[in-house]
Amino acid sequence: MPIGKRCVSLKYNNTRVCSSSSSLLFLGIFWLFQYQWNKWKCWDSEYIWFNSEVVGLLLNVFPFMPFSAAAIPLSNCLRNLHIVYMRSLPKHNYSPISHHLSMLQQITNDNDATNHMVRSYYKSFNGFAAMITNQEREKLKKMEGVVSVFPSESLKPQTTRSWDFMGFKESIQRNKTAESDVIIGVIDTGIWPESESFNDRGFGPIPKKWKGACKGGENFRCNNKIIGARYYLKDQTSARDFVGHGTHTASIAAGNKVVGASFNGIAEGVARGGVPSARIAAYSVCSERDQCRADAILAAFDDAIADGVDLITISLGLQEQITFDNDIIAIGSFQAMKKGILTINSAGNDGPNNTTSSVSPWLFTVAATTMDSRNTDNVLLGNGLMPSGKSINGYASNSAEILSSTGFINNSAPIVAEFSSGGPNMQIREIMKPDISAPGLEILAAYSPLAPPSHDKREKRSVKYNILSGTSMSCPHVAGAAAYVKTSHPDWSPAAIKSSLMTTAKPMNGSELAEFSYGSGFLDPVRAINPGLVFDVSKKDYVKLLCRIGYNTMEVRKISGDKSVCPSSSFHHRLPMAKDFNYPAIAAEIEPRKPFKINFTRTVTNVGFANSAYKAYIQQHSGINITIVPNVLEFKSLKEKQSFVVHVDGGKFSDKSVVSSSLLWSDGTHSVRCPIILRVIKKENATCKIRFSLRSVFSCSYK
């Protein structure tokens, strides 16, 4: 030790700091302040160094204070919220909360581990969220039963005439009894329960299958329409929606019929959801600052699955594609799929140059389109001219006055909205994304009267209905349509419902990226309840796909939450190739200016007529040749399965082009359309699969 200096030990991390005796008191006070500050605010840096800027500042203030360089590591004291994902719940003699607390107690050496526990997941899968240090995180990773430990980051929500535009008119034949038994889980910013769109006049008792609860919090009352509500963030006092987004999406999917709804007189008419008789369970995972935490989203999935919802709609997401084992929505929706629950997810609003982050094959990813009606403002400029603008606004400026908003017919609709995020799917190139398109531009639906109706800082109005645009709005349209299919086919798997909506979608055009922009086409709910054939997929098929594309057993278990196993490398080749995954669309990548030949295998299940024969028809594209073997499928019974092979070969295409075609199976009554889309790209331009961490990408926006 240098002469004339004394040293002190910092107990919490065994660090020794040496300084002159006259400065030890100040150094101690400074360290205590720094320690407390970093307990309040987590620093990204691993160390505070007492030998650079900090030392310079101290020497300027206290020139008498010479001390040697020392580093104080903060990782042992800084606690960040992490999600601990564990193996599936044991069936007998297991207390998950006690187990989770015991694990925390072991790694923190704290007799009261509840100080660090945020929540347990124990209803549909096993795990917990807790405030832990980096050192504790590494200890947890080594503990028996732990599959993964990763930081909980934040997502943001992605931000009537639409149902009529799709041909899904109010007069369409419905089974209202079956519809009233369908429960849609809405994971979003909450809900405004007093809205006319959610009153329960005429509703019967809550479905007997419902296992959930109304835990909406302060001044929140459920009814026979909104049968469940939960909230998850500490700064929330209820599941009440102060943002407006969740109320809007919920009413698009399942809002009641409301006559005379409008946004300050604009677009006045009848507002209704896709399945007005269905029930709603609201799960509020977002704060008023639009931060939607990953641990809350996973908790909402856990609750929704256990509560007994039939479908989940979630208009939230990332801004980048990440691997499925790091994607909270992919993990949660996989758990839902295992229980027979389809999850519908918005594609995102970062188009047209950025790709969708919703690329899991078990998710139903929705792009946004225009409608045949638009709103325009008549603006009186200071020079007396009066042009029209495609906007909805209620304010005047110094040089212009907005006189009125009126509607006009958009004959080009439906086309993909400019903001809608598209493909391709960089995680599994053989899986087309997005899957389907639905109206997402200028959608009138219920809104929270406490939420500002626009992003204008001068906004003081309070509205009960608002006009919003985004894939957030297209997503619940598909959720409503999926619920409608569910009323006719309650025993269908999530994949079968998804297939029925994709294969009956109306063909679209108007985009250079073709199906990579709009998926299978424009949603047609009426045809979807009688698709004729479906492409079905089981949980085992998804696991095989994950193993085939390079996920190992531990990575697959992070997604599946069970004891799924990938075969050893010597048997890996026996797994079906990704191109042969039984998806209701065919996608592949080919190299530019080179001939190619690819074969794709698919299997369809008969859900139409017991005795039927389907003939194959091809929409040929110049430059490629497509043949189907066999070109006729004959069925003798319902639920019978038949397989076929699609042979595609062709010539030379330019780099970064898209080749689009389709296969149509028809028995004279049913038409089952399957897109065939090829992306032309040099192999060196293709991005290899990268295992991003959640921390690096969870910065996202309204979908």
Active site residues: 188, 245, 472
Do the bridges between strand 436-439 and strand 363-369 make them parallel or antiparallel, or are there none, so unpaired?
A: parallel
Q: Where are the beta strands (DSSP E) in 577-657?
A: 586-590, 596-606, 612-619, 624-629, 632-635, 641-650
Exposure string (b/e) for 375-407, b if CB count within 10 Å is 16 or more?
bbbebeeeeeeeeeeeebebeeeeebebeebee
Q: Which residue has the tokens 């980048």?
A: 320
Residues 157 and 316: beta-carbon distance below 8 Å: yes
Strand partners, 117: 130
One-letter amino acid of 552: N
Residues 424 and 516: beta-carbon distance below 8 Å: yes
Query: Which tokens belong to 444?
Result: 């009138």
The verdict on whether omega for the bond into residue 414 sits within 30 degrees of 0, i.e. cis, is yes
Close Cβ partners of 15 (under 8 Å, ≥ 6 residues apart):
9, 70, 71, 72, 73
CB atoms within 10 A of CB 491: 7
Residues 347 and 703: beta-carbon distance below 8 Å: yes
Q: Which residue has the tokens 């719940």?
A: 89
- DSSP letters along 168-195, please? --TTS---HHHHTT-EEEEEES-B-TTS
Torsion angle of C-alpha atoms 212, 213, 214, 216, degrees rounded to 10: -80
H or E element that contains 485: helix 471-488
Query: Which tokens belong to 314?
Result: 């979630």
* Residue 598 to residue 313: CA distance in whole angstroms: 36
Close Cβ partners of 292 (under 8 Å, ≥ 6 residues apart):
154, 155, 156, 157, 189, 285, 286, 316
Close Cβ partners of 450 (under 8 Å, ≥ 6 residues apart):
192, 242, 462
Query: Which tokens belong to 69?
Result: 């360089």
**How close are the terminal C-alpha atoms of the chain, in Å?**
60
Q: Which of 235, 233, 221 has the alpha carbon at shortest distance from 300?
A: 233
* Residue 604 to residue 526: CA distance in whole angstroms: 21
Would you call 24 helix, strand, or coil by DSSP? Answer: helix
Strand partners, 367: 437
* Residue 438 to residue 703: CA distance in whole angstroms: 14
Question: How buried is 367 (Cβ within 10 angstroms: 0-12 exposed, 13-18 middle, 19+ buried)?
Answer: buried
* Residue 367 to residue 111: CA distance in whole angstroms: 50
Q: Count CA atoms within 13 Å of residue 383 on its CB side.
A: 2
Residue 547 is classified by DSSP as: H
Close Cβ partners of 202 (under 8 Å, ≥ 6 residues apart):
none
Residue 198 is classified by DSSP as: G
H or E element that contains 227: strand 226-231
